[in-house]
Amino acid sequence: MKIEKIYEFLDNLSPFELQEEWDNSGLIAGSMQDEVESVCVSLELNSEIVQSAPEKTLFITHHPLIFKGLKKLDFTTYPANIIKILAKKECAALAMHTNIDKTHLNRYVVERILKQEIIKESDFICYFDANMSFDELILSVSNRLDIQNLKVVRSGENIKRAALCTGSGGDLLNGVDADCFISGDFKYHHAVTAKENKLSLIDIGHFESEHYFTNILGEHLKNFPLKVIIADSKNPFEYFHSKNRK
């Protein structure tokens, strides 16, 4: 099947024109007229995923393999090492990043994982009525996302309205109209700002909030007339617990 046909299917699912100006969604490696024999869906690409896939595979990822302009290709370092393997195996790469954040990913986490009803949406943010204590919300988020350790900022004890943004939502902080903001990759100055502005935070991590991308694409591609591989993306971070110290 030509990549062009797959691109059209994905564009109808989540239009690439919705991506942010700074984003690099769309076809990153390969040509629209290239023929592929299988599709591999993954949060991102690494050498293990690319090496294990068949030749002439189209990789569909959430995180773009190339995000900023490359000034040189050093095939011993990322991402040029991945580009080299793709070319050798006649594979292609396509990313669905900020476009699918807006159309699917945030909604999926709120509705399917947190089991909440969305009351308002604004680009990257979904709002829902929590109507519970902050501790109850922390416990609910921890259980439903299966995260044992959550980093939080407590600015109040009762949460009426909560907001969620998958990935890194810290730069959206000042536009959040809620009692609690749930997102990932909060920095120290985000915490200070939130505390001063009486906004509670729950940091659910980047990988932990976005790995559902493969679930979403898998559901839509299950009847696709090509072999579809769902790659097991792994969090590059490991969490060390002091209680395990000898």
Give residue 210's pLDDT band: very low, low, confident or very high (50, 70, 90). very high
Is the peptide bond between 236 and the residue preceding it cis, with omega within 30 degrees of 0? no
- Burial code (b: 16+ CB inside 10 Å, e: under 16) for 187-212 equals eeebbebbeeeebbbbbbbbbbbbbb
Cα 178 versus chain centre, distance: 22
SS3 call for 224: coil
- 144 and 87 share one domain: no
Distances (CA, A) of 73 to 47, 83, 86, 176: 16, 9, 14, 40
Q: Per-residue pLDDT for 24 more than 80?
A: yes
Give residue 245's pLDDT band: very low, low, confident or very high (50, 70, 90). low
Residue 145 structure tokens: 């996302």
Residue 151 belongs to some domain of the structure: yes
The whole domain housing 25 covers 3-98+210-230
Dihedral sign from CA coordinates of 194, 198, 204, 206: negative
Count of domains observed in the chain? 2
- 9 and 89 share one domain: yes
Task: Quick: pLDDT tens for 74-99.
Answer: 999 999 999 999 999 999 999 999 99
Q: What is the pTM of this model?
A: 0.94
Stretch 178-201: mean pLDDT:
98
- 84 and 146 share one domain: no
Task: Quick: pLDDT tens for 99-150.
Answer: 999 999 999 999 999 999 999 999 999 999 999 999 999 999 999 999 988 9
Query: Which CATH number covers residue 53?
Result: 3.40.1390.30
